Structure 1
Amino acid sequence: MKPLYSIEIEPEVRDWLELLPAKHFLKVDEYVGLLAERATTLGEPLGRAVMTHSRWTRRNDCEAAEAEAVTETRQGIRLAMALAEAVYLRRTELGLTQTELAARAGLTQAKISRIEGSDAVPTLPLLAKLARALDASLNIAIDEDDAQVSFTPHTNAA
């Protein structure tokens, strides 16, 4: 099976990547793919750094499809990343620190950090706590190859 991406990286980084468990490698793969897609919108110096330090391109000549388990893992990673971004955006919109959000939600700062780092898959009760703490409704739309997660702020009548 041909690799899905071709990438030019330093030998030390390649050695590190080869030691990663498959699930962690897939997460790195998703992040680098996301960075490559958004490199032009990151602005200087980030956009230039992404494109200078890695040449990450999707291979169009890949004949074999990914295994179903790999596809499901990638979808889970994308969903966790979408939730992480939504929590971060709403928290910063409210001007809250991770510690302040944790206190509002009855969680630890470390748990908030894991959610924002897409390292945790929250349960439904935890998502409800987050939505209440962020004074918003949580919206999740999952399609075959896409997931959208957002918070809709509650409007308070004065």
Structure 2
Amino acid sequence: MKTWRAKKQEISGKLGSERSEVLEITAQLINLIHKRRLELGLTQEQLAARIIERGGNLRQEHIARIETGAVVPRIDTLVTIARALDLDLFNLKGTEEAASKTYA
């Protein structure tokens, strides 16, 4: 299974350095979100239900595609997910380590 860092390296040659940096930050956020979901013991379906309860509109299938790297989400989507997990995106720690972890 690839890590988000490996995915970034796979496509970084096709992107400029600024876009590559954005992808790196996105990967770090996704890994933190995934880790938080697991810490809370939530399934993707339960997370989707939380998002809907809070006025969002994100299905389990989309969460799965984000976590597996099938899509690169917009920042507002990541913020919506993070809020449903009570994750503070303005106080992130350990993002470098998170970027190297495997996503599933």
Category of TM-score, reference length = shorter chain: 0.5 to 0.7
Work out the number of aligned pairs and report it.
81
CA shift in 2, pair 1:87/1:95, >3 Å: same
Q: Distance in 1 between matches of 2:8 and 2:30?
A: 17
Corresponding position of 1:129: 80
Q: Which runs of 5+ in 2 are unaligned?
A: 1-5, 53-57, 97-104
Identity within the alignment, %? 33
Q: Distance in 2 between matches of 1:140 and 1:117?
A: 24
Q: TM-score, normalised by structure 1?
A: 0.41
Would you say 1:87 and 2:87 are equivalent positions?
no
CA shift in 2, pair 1:116/1:139, >3 Å: farther
CA shift in 2, pair 1:140/1:82, >3 Å: farther
SS of match in other structure, 1:95: coil
Q: Distance in 1 between matches of 2:83 and 2:7?
A: 31
SS of match in other structure, 1:103: helix
Q: Which 4+ stretches in 1 moved above 3 angstroms? A: none
CA shift in 2, pair 1:87/1:29, >3 Å: closer
Name the larger-Rg structure: 1
Q: Distance in 2 between matches of 1:121 and 1:93?
A: 22
Corresponding position of 1:20: none
The structure with more strand, counted as a fraction of residues:
1
Corresponding position of 1:101: 47
CA shift in 2, pair 1:30/1:109, >3 Å: same
Q: Post-superposition shift, 1:77? A: 2.2
Q: Post-superposition shift, 1:140? A: 6.7
Q: Counterparts in 2 of 1:39-54, with a 5 A limit? A: none
What per-residue deviation string (whole Å, max 9, x for no partner) do you get for residues 15-61 of structure 1?
xxxxxxxxxxxx64626xxxxxxxxxxxxxxxxxxxxxxxxxxxxxx
Corresponding position of 1:12: none
SS of match in other structure, 1:131: helix
Asked which structure has the greater RCO (Cα within 8 Å, sep 6+), the reply is: 2
Question: Are the counterparts in 1 of residues 29 and 78 from structure 2 also a CA contact under 8 Å?
Answer: no
**Aligned residues: CA RMSD:** 2.9
